[in-house]
């Protein structure tokens, strides 16, 4: 008798799971109206402005601060006028290098999206575009990471240590990132 009861219960449970899964909205719901499905408006704005978007996190979290955040903390870090000038040049150079790469990423993501929108996607075309996008993303990441490398060369070890304290990396206190404090240069 148990066998006859088990089978309908298993089928009922599977049926409920299927209905629950089918009824759950996709986490992508609403994104189908994006101009470029893979990029939000914020992503596009960040790419066009040359912003880091967390690409240099390995540097940042391993005592290689970036020029923007260091400049934002110039008073606390007691930067010299020479350091401020050098960091400003580094930040400007990073943006000059990052913006065109960001534009290329947007262009290639648009082409990838168009393949699917126009129903022309093939395995070869998708592979070619995604490889190209991956190379561009790597290039962009290197630009941002290398700006962090250059920043460390401008600072003293004491300034780097103080920066880490200010950012909450050494105190154990959580740091709340406030993008509104970023310079718009």
Domain ranges of the chain: 35-172
H or E element in which residue 166 lies: helix 157-167
> How many Cα atoms occupy the beta-carbon half-sphere of 108 within 13 Å?
20
Helix (H, G, I), strand (E, B) or coil at 54: coil
Instruction: Say yes or no to pLDDT of 14 above 90.
Output: no
pTM of the complete model: 0.79
What is the structure's pLDDT at 147?
Answer: 98
Alpha carbon of residue 26 to chain centroid:
22
Find tokens 């709340």 and name the residue.
Answer: 176
Q: Give the tens place of pLDDT for each residue, 110-143.
A: 999 999 999 999 999 999 999 999 999 999 999 9
What mean pLDDT comes out for the span 65-90?
Answer: 98
The residue length of the chain stands at 185
Find tokens 């903390």 and name the residue.
Answer: 73
Q: Token pair for residue 112?
A: 């990838």
What is the structure's pLDDT at 30?
Answer: 84
Confidence at 175, pLDDT banded by 50, 70, 90: very low
What is the structure's pLDDT at 173?
Answer: 47
The angle, 0 to 180 degrees and rounded to 10, between the axes of the packed helices 81-117 and 123-154 is: 170
Choice between 8 and 151, residue whose per-residue pLDDT is larger: 151
Confidence at 5, pLDDT banded by 50, 70, 90: low
- Separation of alpha carbons 98 and 47, rounded Å: 8
Instruction: Say yes or no to pLDDT of 105 above 90.
Output: yes
Phi first, then psi: what are they for 85, rounded to 5°? -65, -45
Q: Token pair for residue 25?
A: 């909205």
Mean pLDDT of the chain: 87
Instruction: Say yes or no to pLDDT of 102 above 50.
Output: yes
- Separation of alpha carbons 136 and 127, rounded Å: 14
- Separation of alpha carbons 113 and 118, rounded Å: 9
Confidence at 17, pLDDT banded by 50, 70, 90: low
Cβ 140 vs Cβ 105: under 8 Å: yes
Q: Give the tens place of pLDDT for each residue, 41-72.
A: 999 999 999 999 999 999 999 999 999 999 99
């Amino acid at each position: 008798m148990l066998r006859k009861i088990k089978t309908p219960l298993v089928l009922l449970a599977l049926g409920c799971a299927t209905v629950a899964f089918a009824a759950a909205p996709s986490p992508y719901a609403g994104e189908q109206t994006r101009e470029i499905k893979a990029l939000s408006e914020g992503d596009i704005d960040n790419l066009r402005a040359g912003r880091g978007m967390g690409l240099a996190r390995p540097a940042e979290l391993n005592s290689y601060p970036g020029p923007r955040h260091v400049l934002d903390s110039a008073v606390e870090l007691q930067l010299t006028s020479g350091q401020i000038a050098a960091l400003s040049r580094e930040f400007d150079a990073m943006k000059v290098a990052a913006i065109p790469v960001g534009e290329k990423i947007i262009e290639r993501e648009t082409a990838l999206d168009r393949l699917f929108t126009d129903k022309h996607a093939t395995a070869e075309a998708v592979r070619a575009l995604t490889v190209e996008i991956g190379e561009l993303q790597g290039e962009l990441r290197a630009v941002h990471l290398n700006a962090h490398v250059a920043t460390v060369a401008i600072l003293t070890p004491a300034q780097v240590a103080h920066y880490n304290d200010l950012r909450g990396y050494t105190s154990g206190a959580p740091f709340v990132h406030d993008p509104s404090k970023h310079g718009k240069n």
